[in-house]
Amino acid sequence: MRALTFEPGKKGTLKVEEIPDPERKNGDLLVQGVALGICGTDRELESADYGWAPPGKSRMVIGHESLGRVLEVPDGSAYSVGDLVVGVVRRPDPVPCGACAHGEFDMCRNGRYTERGIKEIDGYASERWVVEAGYAVKLDPSLESVGMLVEPTSVVAKAWDHIERIGARAWFEPRTVLVTGAGPIGLLAALLGVQRGLEVHVLDRVAEGRKPALVADLGATYHAASNLDDFHDDPPDIIVECTGVGELVLASMTTTAAAGVVCLAGLASQGRTHRVDGGLINRDIVLENDAVFGSVNANLRHFRAAADALAKADLGWLERLITRRVPLERAEDAFAHGDDDVKVVIDLTV
Ligand code: BGC
């Protein structure tokens, strides 16, 4: 079968190649790959900024935003042939740490977790793949064209879950949320904010193209800006920072209402320095009881919440997030990111 593989730690090594069919072990599902979403992490893997090969191997199959159709199931399985499924990204560390032992492998404490397509386990960019039934999530059949959005949605479902848990430390009835960044993660975070009945604002430096329209069609307000000046007079209750841009990360920490919650969900590149007034940041956070926290990855509960959220969303709007679909044979084209691209998807069936 064909698969998209790369050599972690080495730039420019992506290629579509023939590899042996996966072997289904007891308890696994055999799945036909339907599509795969590409994100910033995949681009980092491609440019050798991130990623670890499986022990004893130099190449691995990329891909963690999966979508497939079940081909074979174990006896007595809750899955049926033909079910639409996605595979979970992370697996618990082998110890396991307390969090992994409790199914919260997204909160792994010792860093020895593994991740499909990213850290030490083959990913989902192949014509067929296997997944342990306990790490698969069944989707509503209506999500066939957009199901690869479940994984990025799981990441923001976790962010929202933790925002609400942190908020619940005291009386919490948030009214407004600001999402910085109108890429896939930002737009999906905004969707989940709208589904919670919040007044949603989305900020992105792009002033034209499909992002403003996607935000408006969600019933949210778009701000074309590179700073948070618009929000000084009426700061939001919650910020979901999805850009990883240093200036916005720092500004978000001092631009919430009292008892504000700031979730850092974007990843910055290292090496740029900023002059900051540490005392001002300290005073703002302490005197307002604010909370700033980071969020990565997602556990099974978040994948299920993501699948439910997408099934409730407007399908036409979700389809507009997918701005390009490229066949597996031309998979490399998916790694170039145009300014107006939101989500680029590899079609594993052609
Ligand atoms: C994935 C996460 C993963 C993270 C770091 C993200 O792109 O969505 O599941 O934990 O990269 O590896």
Percentage of the chain surpassing pLDDT 90? Answer: 97
pLDDT at 270: 85
Residue 186 Cα to ligand 1 middle (Å): 15
The total number of residues written for the chain in this structure: 350
Residue 208 Cα to ligand 1 middle (Å): 29
Residues with CB under 6 A from ligand 1: 39, 41, 64, 89-90, 115, 118, 151, 155, 296-297
pLDDT at 83: 98
Best residue for ligand 1 mutational test, from 36, 38, 46, 64 (most atoms within 8 Å of Cβ): 64
Buried b (16+ CB within 10 A) or exposed e, 189-216: bbbbbbeeebbbbbbbbeeebbbbebbe
pLDDT at 216: 98
Q: Measured on CA atoms in the order 207, 210, 216, 219, is the torsion positive or negative?
A: negative
Terminal CA-CA length for the chain: 12
Above 90 in pLDDT, residue 143?
yes
Best residue for ligand 1 mutational test, from 36, 38, 39, 41 (most atoms within 8 Å of Cβ): 41
Cα–Cα distance for residue pair 350/83, rounded to 1 Å: 20
Above 90 in pLDDT, residue 204?
yes
CB contact at 8 A, 7 and 15: no
Please give the number of the atom of ligand 1 that sits closest to the Cα of 41: 7
Please give the number of the atom of ligand 1 that sits closest to the Cα of 50: 12
H helices of 107-209, in order, are 150-167, 184-195
Summarize the confidence of residues 52-75 as an average pLDDT. Answer: 98
pLDDT at 1: 98
Q: Which of 191-205, 223-237, 241-255, 259-273 has the lowest mean pLDDT?
A: 259-273
pLDDT at 338: 81
Residue 279 Cα to ligand 1 middle (Å): 33
CB contact at 8 A, 333 and 346: no
Supply the residue whose CA is at minimum distance from atom 10 of ligand 1.
297
Residue 156 Cα to ligand 1 middle (Å): 11
Give the model's confidence band at 210: pLDDT under 50 very low, under 70 low, under 90 confident, else very high: very high
Residue 151 Cα to ligand 1 middle (Å): 9
Give 158-190 pLDDT, tens digit per residue: 999 999 999 999 999 999 999 999 999 999 999
Residue 175 Cα to ligand 1 middle (Å): 29
Give the model's confidence band at 294: pLDDT under 50 very low, under 70 low, under 90 confident, else very high: very high
CATH of region 2-138+321-347: 3.90.180.10
Residue 116 Cα to ligand 1 middle (Å): 10
Give the model's confidence band at 53: pLDDT under 50 very low, under 70 low, under 90 confident, else very high: very high
Q: What is the pTM of this model?
A: 0.98
Supply the residue whose CA is at minimum distance from atom 7 of ligand 1.
41
Give the model's confidence band at 283: pLDDT under 50 very low, under 70 low, under 90 confident, else very high: very high
Residue 46 Cα to ligand 1 middle (Å): 14
**What residue spans define the domains of the chain?**
2-138+321-347, 154-294
Best residue for ligand 1 mutational test, from 91, 297, 343 (most atoms within 8 Å of Cβ): 297
Above 80 in pLDDT, residue 339?
no
Percentage of the chain surpassing pLDDT 70? Answer: 100
Residue 76 Cα to ligand 1 middle (Å): 32
Q: Residue by residue, what is the 3-state secondary structure of 197-257?
A: CCEEEEEECCCCCHHHHHHHHCCCEEEECCCCHHHCCCCCCEEEECCCCHHHHHHHCCCCC
CATH architecture classification, 154-294: 3-Layer(aba) Sandwich (3.40)
Please give the number of the atom of ligand 1 that sits closest to the Cα of 119: 12
Above 90 in pLDDT, residue 235?
yes
